[in-house]
A and B are shown apart, each in its own frame.
Chain A
């Protein structure tokens, strides 16, 4: 049977077809749909772990018990999971353990574009890289076979263009793993004390040697000999781009990108006159091939930054094709960045931060959009959970200078991911920062996934819901307050009181994500601007709400140049009733009572 699947859906299907019964991960673009899809298959236990390290630890445990287990995360998630990762390379596995790293060249939705192929070499773990959805499914199955045969975790690396592209896939029936399920003690392999680990390291090196031999014979390292003058070594989506523009060149398409097939590469190099390596991001393959003593062209003609496309590959190798590029980009168009939704509970909080001119230590989630004007109220964003540490560091560095000026802001899911320990640090090390937890009852940015504070699991079962107030108090924060983010006066008062307090404090902003159909209260009636009262002061515009537009008076009819009490105005605000969901923030800002409910 044929089906149209994204790379992520295909990975989930592949795991199901080869008998995976446990899957773990933490949401992160472009990896999120892998877990969401695998959770739908019967007989698979799938969980959103609180963070990626927990996900990998749980996966390791499941593997030690003998099941096949898949763990999926975005590229920066591997950084969080790196601690167990490197040592799991030493312990090896029992049931197959496959780790998906979903990289994001071009930073479509990430804070960096690190190349996680380097992790394979660094942790001495083999890595496969599919170039379309069909391969994504098949490579997952191959990865499990390699994992069990060579007693190692195995990486499958995707990129945004593989994860989020759909192509046609042939489906198969699921087969069970041959490994027996049992609890077997094996301390010399699983207890990585120095004495044991020291003995495991040579085994890792020996395994790498075996994998190198395997790589030379691996059927997914494919040689296509066409034009003998020009050869391209490539993998993943780069293969598709190159094949699109140079269908007649010769190719060595690598399915296994760590370890590399040295013999095969040398043979291929011997068959072509001129050799190129086409790879996005780092010169990862290039450096290894150069170390083999082979002359190859790569990053001296290809960019290191950003993702490729067929034009970039074509222009790099054959610059004569560059002719008409860049012609007519004369149209200067207003950008259209993403924005917080109309009615979003975050908007009022950031409005207040902006008004109070605070230095806002920020974090990762929808609220990072508070960076954009007119709210312009995010001043740092580095890593998951980083905001709280930033505030603490600023506090310790600046002392009294920071009092009343710095605040940390973090979402509920991000706080539970890696903010708890940082808050503990503030309490323990006598900090005095104020942390605002934006509790919108979901992991919003990645598409509304469950987490330990939502009361539901990935499989849809009810779960014990963590109480954020009690959690913060339990960590030792004595001043924990809640606010309704739609009440601007109360938000401002609360923030002002807490930022001047010389003790740790937490403000929890409580409002579910407006896109969360199951939990939100029914939206209120949309609001409107009473045209004759609006004097065009732009106070409401400062909210940056997509539903409010300011129109210059020259674009409005002549009769509208004056307000009802004959005051001149430069323009008027207009509310789009299709977008407005009646949150009422703009009404609180209007001094002229020009905003009210429709039909009021």
Chain B
């Protein structure tokens, strides 16, 4: 195990399943024998607001929140929210972006404009960039609500954790009847995303 820790920042919009995906990620890291911490803010952020979750893992983790400019992987569920956290990324950080937009209120009201071509802006600054059509993939298995787990499957390709640790984590977090479809979603992301 390397001495330095890995920092993942998961961002998006309340209701996209970010906190649940982060929970599974943290369980998988624990299952794999890492020290791991996850931190987020509940409450106001649940109602369609901006959400961010910090996940840190390695040999020994102190702070539950990531230092500015120390994010190794930005795990973004929404385009504008990905841009919002640019300042937290390490130079050379990896970005996994769900190709999805949700208008903030000021855009819906016609006051502000949604930023243009976000994937291109990100790719320019962070060439280590992976664009995923999470919703399309989720619809492939017939359940749009599994998009977050498809995205987690994509992320899993870049983290040194065996598949069974992920599967155990998914099985722990979901109720019985939702386990199989989410394992399917996870594998789809891991293989095709």
With A108-B41, A331-B86 already in contact, the answer to whether A310 and B67 are too (CB < 8 A) is yes
B69: CB under 8 A from chain A? yes
CA distance A477 to B193 in the complex (A): 62
Stretch touching chain A among B103-111, B150-158, B160-168: B103-111
A165 with B42: CB separation less than 8 A: no
A372 with B105: CB separation less than 8 A: yes
Q: Mark A227-248, 1 if CB is under 8 A from B, else 0.
A: 0000000000100110111010
CB-contacts of A194-240 with B (<8 A): 237, 240
With A30-B43, A329-B87, A335-B104 already in contact, the answer to whether A161 and B65 are too (CB < 8 A) is yes
A369 with B63: CB separation less than 8 A: no
Task: Return the chain B residue nearest A239 by Cβ.
Answer: B62
Partner of B67, one of A247, A309, A369, A541: A309
CA distance A337 to B47 in the complex (A): 8
A465 smallest CB distance to B (angstroms): 26
A516: CB under 8 A from chain B? no
Q: Find chain B residues with CB under 8 A from A564 CB.
A: none
Partner of A166, one of B37, B69, B84, B113: B37
CA distance A328 to B113 in the complex (A): 20
Partner of B64, one of A165, A311, A447, A546: A165
Partner of B23, one of A166, A247, A314: A166
A539: CB under 8 A from chain B? no
B41 with A164: CB separation less than 8 A: yes
B99: CB under 8 A from chain A? no
With A166-B26, A166-B37 already in contact, the answer to whether A340 and B47 are too (CB < 8 A) is yes
B114: CB under 8 A from chain A? yes
A77 smallest CB distance to B (angstroms): 14
Partner of B103, one of A166, A369, A549: A549
CA distance A311 to B26 in the complex (A): 23
A160 with B26: CB separation less than 8 A: no
With A109-B42, A168-B36 already in contact, the answer to whether A337 and B49 are too (CB < 8 A) is yes
A538 with B38: CB separation less than 8 A: no
A341 with B67: CB separation less than 8 A: no
CA distance A331 to B27 in the complex (A): 34
With A166-B23, A167-B64, A168-B30 already in contact, the answer to whether A334 and B104 are too (CB < 8 A) is yes
A109 with B62: CB separation less than 8 A: no
B81: CB under 8 A from chain A? yes
Residues in A lying within 8 Å of B, measured CB to CB: 2, 4, 29-30, 108-109, 132, 160-161, 164-168, 237, 240-241, 243-245, 247, 309-311, 314, 324-325, 328-329, 331, 333-341, 366, 369, 372-374, 445-447, 538, 541, 544, 546, 548-552, 571
Residues in B lying within 8 Å of A, measured CB to CB: 13-14, 23, 26-27, 30, 35-50, 61-69, 80-81, 83-84, 86-87, 103-115
6 pairs of A and B residues whose beta carbons are closest in the complex: A109-B43, A338-B49, A338-B47, A29-B43, A165-B64, A334-B112
